[in-house]
A and B are shown apart, each in its own frame.
Chain A
Amino acid sequence: MILASVLTTNLAILVLAGFIGFVVVSKVPNTLHTPLMSGTNAIHGIVLLGGLLLFGLADLSAFSKALLVIAVAFGTINIVGGFLVTDRMLDMFKSKPKPKPAEEDSRPDRLPPGGKVADGKAGNTKAGDGEAGS
């Protein structure tokens, strides 16, 4: 009979999670490394759970409670901020394939017809102005 204590079970989970982490994260391409970082950042905000669990301890002193409020706030900032920022970033990646055909359409950029041409030129002049200013 193998003695499976809470410790050994948790150690098994720890080790397996490590291997899974390596396998899964190895498949993330360089392009997505920043979102990967901010996404995993959000995930380690899970330490929020630690703060929440400890709020269940009996006879917490006022100081302990104050500390826990900070811990919960920190964890929440980490989670909410991390996931939102990652979402914002990934949205930019996701919308990528569409602009390409659109931009091929606007290829005859310097031929007269259409508002698009005007837009392009305005953009360029603006950029030029910005440079002159800076």
Chain B
Amino acid sequence: MTSLPMATFLQSESFIYVLYIVAFALFIQGLRGLSGPTTAVRGNRIAAVGMAIAVVATLLNPGEGNWGLIALGLAIGVAVGVPAARRVKMTAMPQMVALFNGVGGGAVAIVSWVEFRGLGSTYGSHTVEIGGEVIHTGGVATYVAIFSVFAAIVGSVSFWGSNIAFGKLQEILPGRPISLGSAQQIVNLVLLILAVAAGVDLVAGAHSELLFIGMLIVAALLGNAVVLPIGGADMPVVISLLNAFTGLSAAATGMALNNPALIVAGMIVGASGSILTNLMAKAMNRSIPSIVAGGFGGGGAVEGAEGAGEHGGTVRSIGAADAAIQLAYANRVVVVPGYGMAVAQAQHAVRELTKELESRGVEVSYAIHPVAGRMPGHMNVLLAEADVPYDQLKEMDDANPEFQRTDVSLVIGANDVTNPAAKNTPSSPIYGMPILEVADSRSVIVIKRSMNPGFAGIENELYFDPKTSMLFGDAKSAVSEITAELSAL
């Protein structure tokens, strides 16, 4: 093989390195495409081409071996990944993303483990002296061990955390917070210290695979302990955070393996995940530590209950026919979707309704709160699936000034993100959270299953507002009912 000059060139380190550079340039270019819906499809494909190039470059590596096993791994991956991606419903997208994120984290942890099995016996035996010269006394550099161990811990946390998030979203696990109460933070802290201590010991040369496995298990427990206490509505934050974790752990793997494509790709994902995490936390007016520390339900419910007593107002319940009439005579309607729409898979029914309204000359738009649903952008995807033109989807800052000239706000399965208490009641647990100011519109119709408070356990004073009418029922059937009434008018 080496006698062929072409093969020698293709397998040369420089050529492979250049391919990696091409690959990460394509990743960045691809992500730039995501800045607008029209260029996004191409952007995603550009990134995919970059990935293909990175894989080919790696396989060119002269040291590469075990081709049969590589083919086996790739085949299993394709056989599982392709049908999963093809079949998943848009409403199940948050779980799918959590699951894909989890396998990524799992891959990182396993790669670090195998790395340790291969090179771990040399951890800690490496010394460097900078006296004009660098002296390696055998073994891998300390920083390689550090990054590898870091990747193992974070990858394991991400794998288990994502799987728990998947379980909650898929409703295999209960969505409500499962926690150890006040002991939770102490347990988390102890687990974190244990994992880090084991990692430090390994880097220092504790040549024990048992310790490494122990560290993976502690990190796994930590992943469980962090995500289990987090309730459904905090999911957008958690998923973004886990996404950032997996990215950073991949970047660490890249540092350990001296692979520029891995470093750049991992770091970009880390940055993206961090940005999203921040945005989501801001949109809930909560700090990331307080979300990770867990449990929103408990304390808030008590305070909220007190607040509710003050209103003691009456709730006006209406039927689909009344709602239809109200909507039919409006000039401007804003639809405010929430997780309830996703649960009921009502997006197509909503689209039917708005089409019917538009055919009557009603101006319809959608106001989307950043944390509506279970992941960033969840509502947008569902409405896009139902063929809603994206220029009708308004972000919170653009939507809020419009409510004043809106005749009817139709709230479908959204609760806390419309609660005026966030603006008016300083004692409310959600005080300060930016909301969609539907209370500014001339009238409000809320479609809701029952009067049960939302995730935060807070009574929504919007429901007691005299201009609000409640239409109780499943989002999908209620919306279809309105459409039917509307076309009968």
Contact = CB atoms under 8 A, between A and B. Distances in A.
B97 A17 contact: no
Nearest to B40: A90
A34 B40 contact: no
Interface in A61-95: 61, 63-65, 67-95
Given A77-B81, A87-B45, A43 B268 contact: yes
What's the dominant secondary structure at chain A's contact region? Answer: helix
A34 B380 contact: yes
Nearest to A97: B389
Contacts of A86: 44
Nearest to B83: A81
What's the dominant secondary structure at chain B's contact region? Answer: helix
Contact of A25 (B69, B73, B130, B275): B275
B267 interface: yes
Interface residues of A, number: 103
Nearest to A55: B66
A53 interface: yes
Contacts of B224: none
A49 B480 contact: no
B144 to A, nearest CB: 9
A81 B110 contact: no
Contacts of A30: 368, 370, 376-377, 380, 395
B263 interface: yes
Interface string A114-134: 000000110111011011101
B240 interface: yes
A34 B41 contact: no
Nearest to A72: B73
A29 B88 contact: no
Interface of A: 3, 5-7, 10-11, 13-14, 17-22, 24-57, 60-61, 63-65, 67-97, 99-100, 103, 106-110, 120-121, 123-125, 127-128, 130-132, 134
Given A54-B111, A78-B103, A109-B359, 20 more contacts: A11-B255, A28-B31, A33-B375, A40-B269, A47-B253, A49-B262, A51-B110, A53-B58, A54-B118, A57-B114, A67-B114, A68-B111, A75-B107, A77-B77, A80-B85, A81-B100, A87-B44, A92-B90, A127-B483, A131-B476
